[in-house]
Amino acid sequence: MSTINKKEIEKFSKIADEWWDIEGKFKPLHKFNPLRIKYIKNTIINHFKVNSKLKPLKNIELLDIGCGGGLLSEPMCRLGANVTAIDASQKNIDVANYHSKKNNLKINYLCSSPEKIFFNKKFDVILNMEIVEHVNDLNFFINKSSLLLKKNGLMFVATLNKTLKSYIFAIIGAEYVLKWLPIGTHEWNKFVKPKDLSFIGKKNNLKLIKTDGVSFNILKNEWYISKDESVNYISQFKKT
């Protein structure tokens, strides 16, 4: 079995050179990133009772799955985490490696997927951010991701809800009207309802801590945490 969807990998490999262009095809992720970083950092600090202010994620072993060009891997590294990052696209890994070395950041980048990689350690934190809607078999993907997580470890999953509103906003709006994303970036049938994600997590020894909606304020031109889970949302899980 494989979690890799070759069509999805090819799609993102073609635009891999644009990962760090804040005005390029990944502009929405650059807008999204400050919120993601703050959310992840604060949750880890609260969960593990970290008290270092300079490097708040010091000694945290973190695995970023589907890391792309390293948009989250690099900030996590700067915050002190020991970062391992994997992606099924070699081109994404090449871009991420080049950018991290240019910035003197020590990140262990590997071209792989959760079911194909074996570590001699498990991780405190796993990030599955904006990746689950692009994999082949979600249950298999979460299962293999869970096996890489320590007991009491945290897993973050950010994705899109499977609603009419998400189809209108994330596909018609973001891809066709606003041109925020290349047409064909998302397939609505791969979107995941929070209750379904929670059920899959429970089957794989992951207890849902909470789910937060993520919304966009057009007037302020920024993302914020909300109670509206109908389009974007982030779920936090703890390994049991």
pLDDT at 181: 78
- In which band, very low, low, confident or very high, does the pLDDT at 54 lie, cut at 50, 70 and 90? confident
Average pLDDT over residues 162-190: 86
The H or E element containing residue 108 is strand 108-111
Average pLDDT over residues 140-155: 98
**Sequence-distant contacts of 98-101: CB under 8 A, at least 24 apart:** 99/19, 99/20, 99/69, 99/70, 99/74, 100/70, 100/73, 100/74
pLDDT at 95: 98
pLDDT at 106: 98
In this predicted model, what pLDDT tens digit does every residue of 68-90 receive, in sequence order?
999 999 999 999 999 999 999 99
Residue ranges per structural domain of the chain: 6-162+191-239
> What is the rounded CA–CA span in Å between residue 21 and residue 37?
18
Q: Which regions of 139-231 does DSSP assign to beta strands (E)?
A: 149-160, 206-217, 222-226
What's the predicted TM-score (pTM) here?
0.94
Top CATH class, 6-162+191-239: alpha beta
- Checking if the pLDDT of 162 tops 80, the result is yes
- Checking if the pLDDT of 50 tops 90, the result is no
**Sequence-distant contacts of 38-42: CB under 8 A, at least 24 apart:** 39/212, 39/225, 39/234, 40/72, 40/76, 40/125, 40/127, 40/156, 41/79
- In which band, very low, low, confident or very high, does the pLDDT at 237 lie, cut at 50, 70 and 90? very high
Average pLDDT over residues 209-234: 95
pLDDT at 1: 78
In the predicted model, what is the mean pLDDT of the chain?
94
